[in-house]
Structure 1
């Protein structure tokens, strides 16, 4: 293991005698370029940390002969592009961190040779688009982080080849629309984060292939409504976050298909009412977070079907009255939050449904 702290360029041949080196850390220096074959003698190297330098490009061949490398950190540099085949020799690489660079586009073939890669981080760059098939050779990729870029849309085919993907995060971008089939082929995806974008609606087709999805975060967008049946195919979903949107009402059937859902969060929206049976299909729901909306009353039967719910948060609304029977059927409830409302009238029997 070597920590290299020189502030100068790496001299050619400086690593030639370190044939058994496993770990090399050259972070927080002023490196601007890596010459071809600079690491070619380090055939046993497993971990290479080049983060927090001033690298502007990666010269073709700079990673030649690093066939045993499994972790490469190039985060926090000044990379603007990745040339085709730059990672060709890294056949056993598992983790690649390219976050906090200045990448605006990913060239076709830039990830060639990384068939074993499991985790790829490209967050906090300047990506504006992802071309079709850009990740096509990453057949073992499990985690893809694309947060905090400038993506405005996701084109059909941009995730082609990622059949083993488990986690996809595209939060904090500028997404206004997604191609209908953008998530097709991601049949093993378990977590999808598209929060903190500018999506105005959800298309029925988006989630059709995501039957294994367990967590979906669509918070902090501009959604005004949820189409009936939009989550129909998400039969294994356990957590759904819809916080900080512009939802004014919930249409009947909008939660159909979510029979395994355990947590539903709709905080900080503009809901004024909850219709009868709106949550009727959520038979396994344990936590319902509705705080910071604009509810003025709770319609009788609005919580029908929630026999397993343990926590219900209805704080920070404009509720003035709790009518008799409003909580009927909530016999598993352990936590009820009603703070920061305008309650003046608690009708006799309003809590009868909470009795075990």
Structure 2
């Protein structure tokens, strides 16, 4: 809680963009507050009501959010107004009368359509402390805003700003939010007094976004080091994506070598391969992603925004059907659009040497280009139609959150270039491919952040780390402790440890090293060779895992005192239960390390785990929601007060490493039998919520949600696309579902009666909260939440308009609907508490 004068300010969850403003006049009694505060929120107002002027000299707070106001003529008459909320209206011109509200301390005017703010407004607002202008159409800030000398909080996110120079001079500014604008350079003077700063979603080059993500400490360190020396570099992360055997590795390796490089099927990519390629002053960090479906669950660990994507399309296996287009093209474009919607995609037609004739190639190229254009146009038209539908509703202000989401999606600029045909057997085609990539990557309209201004010490540290590695001062497996790295003499002199950490964070975010300082068990581990860490991933995340287990040599089993029978069990448990035994993981990882000449028992123990300590690999897999610890053994409990052979062993600490236990990979499950047996049948009396995802549920989203939620609810049953959780007597089901071709995740709770209803809603909220954490990684999503009507055969539903407020904050504004029951448009009536969390939502039925 922060205190501004006599106003107590409570701001909840700014990360989710919810930030309910509920300020209270804490020093006033209830009767006096009633005279001074006026609430006109959600009244469908187009003009200010006459009652707003009653007792106008005493009014200090007015809430006008979620209306249809385009102007607020006469607002200057409220001379003693301290707080004004005009958010979620239809204001285009910034109200100049606000300049006369000299007592104003808090102003919300976010989520409107303001394009310009006139001069001579903010200099007269000398008491203004809190200003929220996010989600408008601002291209620039007025040059005199820095005369608003009391301002401590400013949010201008989701606008079209290109610079922040006007803010220099705001001596008391502490919290600044500028996400999702068009900023490239940030002034150093801006960061002198800030305590909070967020700038993600900008094409930043000074400082780069990878520095800004590290927070104010890293930004200040960056500018300090920049004073000594600086350089402008061109660097771009280039991701090679596409279906299995589409020719990604051939393209990547040929691009590196500047001539055709043949890649045999046996040598195809397993997991991810990394190459650093220097071409004409441009540094390409090439990431070659394997195309088999088994690897998709780990791609989210490494894919980053503002990337240059090479999408390989095998023309020899492509036909002119919609199914072929979906498999080879649209699946990948959709997932890129969901995950990294501000990227540039270059589709490349490969294997054209295997196509029968040139006419066939030209026809396929024309078909792909045409369908790609239709796909992108259809998405844009869909967003426009959804927006028109909401604007044409009886009260658009009630749907302002959804309209803001639609606008945000339309502002993203996924650029898909024309299909390029490359015959990877011809040197001239490889040269043409290289020239084309250089031309497109250095086009600032495509990748505005390709140029970055860096302190000279950044490149020196990176170079010296590589020198230490080559000189065997760092182990060849590339794993070194942070403490050892800090103690190494760098750059011919002592370096501030915090500055070095800042540089390491930057190198981690661009993919040069790997350092997961936010994972407690890994914060001391720095992997200066990411390729080694990726090799460990692919030891157990691979398309031929069953064969890898079956091929474990007999002598290795004997050395570990393991029978062939045990190995058969490993295979059976993996195939039938998607469960991989920890001992099998240890053997497979050691086998992969041998290929890297790193056959060291201590390294295996550190990576896989030993005794009660989980290894770094297992920590990473669990942190990124790839797998879930699973108990498979049934042993005696030595702490039991008497001999009880039927009692299962339960370790007092569920996070410890157990060599005799296992990990479950939910994405590999093949059925829902276990879940269905526990849940039983769906009933109309169940509490039921649908969360829709448009255009689709991202690949891997559901299984990561399951891992995330199972970690919170230890009593669970997992299936292919369903999962059941128990908390006390409350049983909850989560599953994917398609309704009229719309994809949703359904949450159901068994009806436990009046006393348990709030606990059921709490479980719903916890699950939806975890969905929200995940959806931050897919900025290209549109989401809706509905409760279906409970009458058998009825297709009506009840939309939740403010569900984010409830999910994020755990509470929301009191409902304006007082009825104990709700009626759908087909006339079916149900208790309101079975449709919405009671007292939290205003609602109607569609």
Q: Do the structures match in fold with TM over 0.5? A: yes
1:271 counterpart = 2:507: no
Q: CA deviation at 1:130?
A: 2.1
Q: For residue 197 of structure 2, what is the aligned residue in structure 1? A: 192
1:259 counterpart = 2:494: no
Unaligned runs of 5+ in 2: 1-31, 229-302, 308-449, 463-485, 487-494, 540-588, 607-612, 622-846
Q: CA deviation at 1:137?
A: 2.8
Match of 2:83 among 65, 71, 84: 71
Q: For residue 225 of structure 2, what is the aligned residue in structure 1? A: 229
Q: CA deviation at 1:26?
A: 0.4
Measured in 1, the distance between the counterparts of 2:512 and 2:33 equals 68
Q: For residue 616 of structure 2, what is the aligned residue in structure 1? A: 337
Q: For residue 51 of structure 1, what is the aligned residue in structure 2? A: 65
Unaligned runs of 5+ in 1: 1-17, 218-225, 233-242, 299-313, 328-333, 342-356
Q: CA deviation at 1:150?
A: 2.1
Superposition CA RMSD, Å: 5.0
Measured in 2, the distance between the counterparts of 1:43 and 1:215 equals 48
1:202 counterpart = 2:197: no
Deviations 1:260-304 (A, max 9, x none): 898986698552447xxx9xxx9xx99749999981137xxxxxx
Q: CA deviation at 1:174?
A: 2.9
Greater mean alpha carbon deviation, residues 25-34 or residues 316-325: 316-325
Deviations 1:195-215 (A, max 9, x none): 11222x2259xx9xxxx9458
Q: For residue 174 of structure 1, what is the aligned residue in structure 2? A: 182
Q: How does 1:1-356 map to 2 (within 5 A)?
A: 21-34=35-48, 39=53, 41-59=55-73, 61-67=74-80, 69-84=81-96, 86-133=97-144, 135-151=145-161, 153-154=162-163, 157-175=165-183, 177-178=184-185, 182-184=187-189, 186-199=191-204, 201-203=205-207, 213-214=216-217, 229-230=225-226, 244=304, 251-253=459-461, 259=498, 269-273=509-513, 288=523, 295-297=530-532, 321=593, 337-339=616-618
Over alpha carbons, which structure has the higher Rg?
Answer: 2
Paired positions, count? 261
Check 1:90–1:178 CA distance in 2 against 1; reply closer, same or farther (3 A cut).
same
TM-score, normalising length from structure 1?
0.57
SS at structure 1 position matched to 2:532: coil
Q: CA deviation at 1:194?
A: 1.0
Measured in 2, the distance between the counterparts of 1:286 and 1:262 equals 17
Deviations 1:62-112 (A, max 9, x none): 232432x2221100001111243x123422322111110001111112334
Check 1:293–1:25 CA distance in 2 against 1; reply closer, same or farther (3 A cut).
farther
Contact preservation (8 Å) 1:315, 1:338: yes
Measured in 2, the distance between the counterparts of 1:244 and 1:190 equals 27
Check 1:202–1:253 CA distance in 2 against 1; reply closer, same or farther (3 A cut).
farther
Check 1:315–1:197 CA distance in 2 against 1; reply closer, same or farther (3 A cut).
farther
TM-score, normalising length from structure 2?
0.26
Contact preservation (8 Å) 1:28, 1:52: yes
Check 1:47–1:38 CA distance in 2 against 1; reply closer, same or farther (3 A cut).
closer
Measured in 2, the distance between the counterparts of 1:124 and 1:291 equals 39
Deviations 1:34-89 (A, max 9, x none): 38995374212121101011111232x4232432x2221100001111243x1234
Contact preservation (8 Å) 2:176, 2:197: yes
Q: CA deviation at 1:25?
A: 0.2
Measured in 2, the distance between the counterparts of 1:315 and 1:172 equals 36
Measured in 2, the distance between the counterparts of 1:335 and 1:262 equals 25
SS at structure 2 position matched to 1:158: helix
Contact preservation (8 Å) 2:513, 2:526: no
Measured in 2, the distance between the counterparts of 1:158 and 1:81 equals 20
Deviations 1:175-227 (A, max 9, x none): 3x226xx352552112221111222x2259xx9xxxx945869xxxxxxxx99
Measured in 2, the distance between the counterparts of 1:55 and 1:46 equals 20
Measured in 1, the distance between the counterparts of 2:194 and 2:172 equals 7
